[in-house]
Amino acid sequence: MVKPLLMGAVAYAPKVVTIWEGFKEYFRRHDFKFDYILYSNYERQVEAQLDGSIDLAWNSPLAWIRADRMARIRGLEAHALAMRDTDRDLCSVLVVRSDSRVEVTGELTALAGQVIGFGALDSPQANLIPRDHLRSRGLLAGRDYTAQRFDELGGKHGDHIGGERAAAMALMAGEIDAVWMIDGNYLAFSREGILPAGATRIVARSGSYDHCNFTAISGISAASVEMARRFTELLLAMNWQDAQVRPLLELEGLKAWLPGRTSGYDLLIRAVDDEKFYDAEGNILATDYRY
Question: From residue 205 to residue 224, what is the string marking binding to other proteins with x (rule CB under 8 A)?
Answer: x-------------------
Residues in contact with 180: Cβ distance below 8 Å, sequence separation at least 6, in sequence order:
92, 93, 94, 95, 116, 117, 118, 119, 125, 126, 127, 130, 167
Residue whose CB is less far from other proteins, 90 or 217: 90
Q: Please, what is the minimum distance in Å from the beta carbon of residue 197 to other proteins?
A: 4
Q: Does 192 bind other proteins (CB under 8 A)?
A: no
What is the rounded distance in angstroms from the CA atom of residue 55 to the CA atom of residue 176?
44
Q: Does 86 bind other proteins (CB under 8 A)?
A: yes
Q: For the chain, how are helix, strand and coil distributed in percent, rounded to 5?
A: 35, 20, 40
**Which part of the chain contacts other proteins (CB under 8 A), choosing from 25-33, 144-152, 221-229, 246-254?**
246-254
Number of residues that bind other proteins (CB under 8 A): 32
Q: Does 263 bind other proteins (CB under 8 A)?
A: no
Q: Does 105 bind other proteins (CB under 8 A)?
A: yes
Give the closest residue to 32 by CA, choosing from 53, 54, 6. 6
Residue whose CB is less far from other proteins, 114 or 190: 190
Distance from the first to the final alpha carbon of the chain = 37
- Give the H/E segment covering residue 255: none
Q: Does 101 bind other proteins (CB under 8 A)?
A: no
Give the closest residue to 102 by CA, choosing from 27, 177, 37. 177
3-state secondary structure of 256: coil
**Which part of the chain contacts other proteins (CB under 8 A), choosing from 2-10, 38-46, 63-71, 177-185?**
177-185
Cα–Cα distance list, 173 to 98, 115, 148, 248 (Å): 13, 13, 14, 36
| Per-residue b or e along 37-53, where b marks 16 or more CB atoms closer than 10 Å to that residue's CB | eebebbbebbebbbeee
Q: Please, what is the minimum distance in Å from the beta carbon of residue 176 to other proteins?
A: 18
Q: Does 85 bind other proteins (CB under 8 A)?
A: yes
From candidates 24, 72, 88, 149, binder to other proteins by CB under 8 A: 88
**Which part of the chain contacts other proteins (CB under 8 A), choosing from 60-68, 122-130, 169-177, 237-245?**
237-245
**Which part of the chain contacts other proteins (CB under 8 A), choosing from 45-53, 61-69, 245-253, 268-276?**
245-253
Q: Does 240 bind other proteins (CB under 8 A)?
A: yes
The distance from CA 122 to its chain's CA centroid, rounded to whole angstroms, is: 9
**Rule CB under 8 A: which residues touch other proteins?**
85-86, 88-91, 93, 105, 182-184, 186-187, 190, 195, 197-198, 200-203, 205, 239-241, 243-244, 246-247, 253, 255-256
